[in-house]
Structure 1
Amino acid sequence: MRPKILLVEDDSSLVELIRYNLDREGFSVVTTPDGEEALVLAEEEQPDLVILDWMIANLSGIEVCRRLRRAPETASLPIIMLTARAEETDRIRGLETGADDYVTKPFSPRELVARVRALLRRLRPALSGGHLEHGGVVMDTSAHKVTRDGVPVQLGPTEFRLLRHFLEHPGRVFSREQLLDAVWGRDVYVEQRTVDVHIRRLRKAINQDNLPDIIRTVRSAGYALDADGSARVAG
């Protein structure tokens, strides 16, 4: 699966330049010039990273960043602030608001892609390939095997896909609807309570021998892989 980037930028020529370079490097890109629409897309599209211009329509990039950080579903979403504001005070403000990186215009598209890759390696290590690991749970995506603390875990196909989605986004809260889209697909009709059934099955499988439950239920929001675990790529 290609990592998905949400690009929030109102300069159409710059959008095409960034989109071209990201697409060439294997990324999927969703774009909008509008701050309010960016918040909607961040929830609906579930991007792996946001590139966010400071000066955009309807809602400033700073405010978009602030709201993304406040919402449980997007609180851990990596954000690169992209702006012509190069003053130190502006960079500090952007970082203190919640941006993970800050790139000033003009910039090299190659450098931006490199920063995207570096940030994903640091904050979304599952997207770099290899085995997925979090809190003692290790998934070999090629061999379709899962262990916890070295003990094999038997999972059905749906539970495997569900766990993989959580491992790829540790700490991020997903609603039942978002999990249905990501795991079952948007073209398949499945009732939301089906998610609860498979969450119970997944918990039963990975929490054997009274091990701590690493799947967190967030009331009125959904589920998340406990952020207390240490997510990284193994092997």
Structure 2
Amino acid sequence: MKRAKLIFQEGNHTWHVIARDPQKPNYLIDTNEYLISYNNQSILTDPGGLEIFPSVFAAICSAKNPEEIVAIFASHQDPDIISSLSLWLEFNPALPCYLSWLWMEFIPHFGGNEDTFVAIPDQGIAIPLNDLTLQAIPAHYLHSSGNFNLYDPIAKILFSGDIGAALLPHDETDVYVRDFDKVVKAAEGFHRRWMGSNDAKLAWCERVSKLHIDMMCPQHGAIFQGKDVERFINWFSELKVGVLRT
């Protein structure tokens, strides 16, 4: 089962990761969900697919009151990102979902209506969470053509979606990166094939290198901390992407 782990706390400001599940079926890709909370309101990032909704919901209930979730943030349109939307809307029909304007007519196939979705323009927007302001950071073509990260400038945490994702061996369940070289070796093939544009990659690297990031939290794999964040950005900037894995 998935479990919620506290990765940041400063007063009433917290981040929990709903971490990888070693007991998941082998036919499912593993995912990380993040719950950002500030003064009794929360945003859930990339809540995952239908198959894992019960596990994600139970993990959240162990850490926070799910009724405090005031919004969902979807980095892009993939089913492992947002296909559980209909179940979240059964829990709270008024729950808004932030996502790229590009997917406004696609994601409703998973659930919701015209009142559910908040369109993020290509340049990104500020997303309020009580008295905290989060920033939707453009990450287009990495890998989706309408793709965003989410940055918390107070916690100095970047939710990076598929950027930084590593499909680690089934028995490696560390929440944080322990061996940088081993993790990026596992990430290399994924990034070469799934990240579609070298120009977009370099633009993203330049953009996020200007942010103060203590943790970079991908949707798959382990969390980068401290100097490993800069190491990853430098590694990624030099990696040729948009090619078949060989």
TM-score with structure 2 setting the length: 0.29
Is the radius of gyration larger for structure 1 or structure 2? Answer: 1
* Higher share in helix: 1
TM-score with structure 1 setting the length: 0.30
